[in-house]
Amino acid sequence: MRIAVCDDEKYFRDTIYEEINSFFNSLDVLCVPFSDGDSLIEATEKGQRFDAVFLDIEMSGTDGMKTAARLHRFSADLPVIFLTSHTELAMDGYEVGAFRFLQKPVKKEKLWQTLADLKALCSEKTTISLKESGEEYFISPEEIICAEADNNTVRFITCEQEYRVRMKISEAVKLLEGSADYFCRIHRSVVVNLGHIVSRNDKEIRLDNNSVYPVSKSYSEELKSRLMQYIRINAR
């Protein structure tokens, strides 16, 4: 996920930037700061794309409303979160497709709820392609409970069915971790969706489809850390 933060006040820009990095704490999320609307527009015109933009309304030069309108020429459904000290400007923002308004100074709980909603929105939009027996299937990463190596194929297991795809488990890990930050490798042959874990100990995990998988020592600490982070974020 790529998120732009555009505010001509350094304090607010840095605060939002730091909170976004703190919330996601993931190398898969890149936060890019901009000090004015013109530089953000220029970056977009040069090919940079963002999954969401935090945008100050009252900026010198091109203000937030005009910046949002320009950005939507490149991506009509781009979620824009407006930052403002004047809530009376909110109605104008809906004309340029505002996703949310946050009043300055931004309260942490409001910001984190917005980030959680953005995460859910981006997850809904994401699909991955799995090819099985000449057929290509497009599914949401959230549907996948786990993926397991099986000889020369990988079994992608969902609540409804499983897909056998001819690939290496390393390729499956790259595919899943690249699509969402809630996948974690627990064994050299298994990667799981953290949201489907119902119990764990030092040696194994149990998933909500009643499957039990061993946890390798080399992945144990990462699993523990990633699972605690997942629970902390999604329990809000």
CATH number at residue 101: 3.40.50.2300
Reduce the DSSP state of residue 131 to 3 states and report it: strand
Task: Give the residue ranges of the chain where pLDDT is below 50.
Answer: 93, 236
List the one residue out of 182, 109, 108 whose CA is nearest residue 140.
182
Q: Are 13 and 52 contained in the same domain? A: yes
Q: Are 121 and 145 contained in the same domain? A: no
pLDDT of residue 27: 67
pLDDT of residue 68: 92
pLDDT of residue 234: 64
Question: pLDDT per residue over 193-205, tens digit each?
Answer: 998 999 998 899 9
Q: Give the chain's domain count.
A: 2
pLDDT of residue 136: 87
Q: Are 9 and 121 contained in the same domain? A: yes
pLDDT of residue 44: 87
pLDDT of residue 236: 42
- Structural domain that includes position 113: 2-125
Which of the listed residues 75, 95, 125 is the one where a domain comes to its end? 125
Which of the listed residues 105, 125, 145 is the one where a domain comes to its end? 125
Q: Containing H/E element for 52?
A: strand 52-56
Which of the listed residues 63, 91, 125 is the one where a domain comes to its end? 125
Range 193-202, long-range pairs (CB < 8 A, 24+ positions): 193/141, 193/142, 193/144, 193/145, 193/146, 194/226, 194/227, 194/230, 195/142, 195/230, 195/234, 196/145, 196/146, 197/227, 200/224, 200/227
Question: How many percent of the chain have pLDDT more than 90?
Answer: 56
Q: What is the pTM of this model?
A: 0.55
Q: Are 132 and 110 contained in the same domain? A: no
